[in-house]
Amino acid sequence: MDGKKLLAFLNGEITGIELQRHIEPEVVIWIDKLRERGRSASVQLTGHGHLTDMTAQRAILILDALIKNELPETSFSYVLEALLMSDRINWPNTEVLDSMEILSDPERSGYVDLTVAKAVRNRLSNP
């Protein structure tokens, strides 16, 4: 995944719809790999250096894109996997990290429980 595009999204410079258009081909390949029996599929951010701090506000931005259907569940999961697996993303607040990890489940092949996503969003917006 292009770290610059992800950062542009996290900074509110592009919409979830624009991010989706950019990552859609990668998401299709990722989901196909996840569906293969016994196979894992990692997501890596391209680019150099530290990307950003993952704040509650940025987590809410991603959750809102999912809830508003700007990012389909599979694309949300792909973005979330990139964020969780990257050593270029700093999680200064463990509550944000723990909350977002709840939504990451490789057994679901990229699908997210929207009820849980909404609950996580509410928790992060009302600390």
- Integer Cα distance of 100 and 96 in angstroms: 6
Domain boundaries, the chain: 3-125
Question: Phi first, then psi: what are they for 26, rounded to 5°?
Answer: -65, -40
d(CA 18, CA 116): 25
Spatial separation of the C-alpha atoms in residues 74 and 115, rounded to whole Å: 16
Q: What is the pLDDT of residue 51?
A: 74
Q: Judge contact between 95 and 108, C-beta under 8 A.
A: no
pLDDT tens digits along 3-39: 889 999 999 999 999 999 999 999 999 888 888 766 6
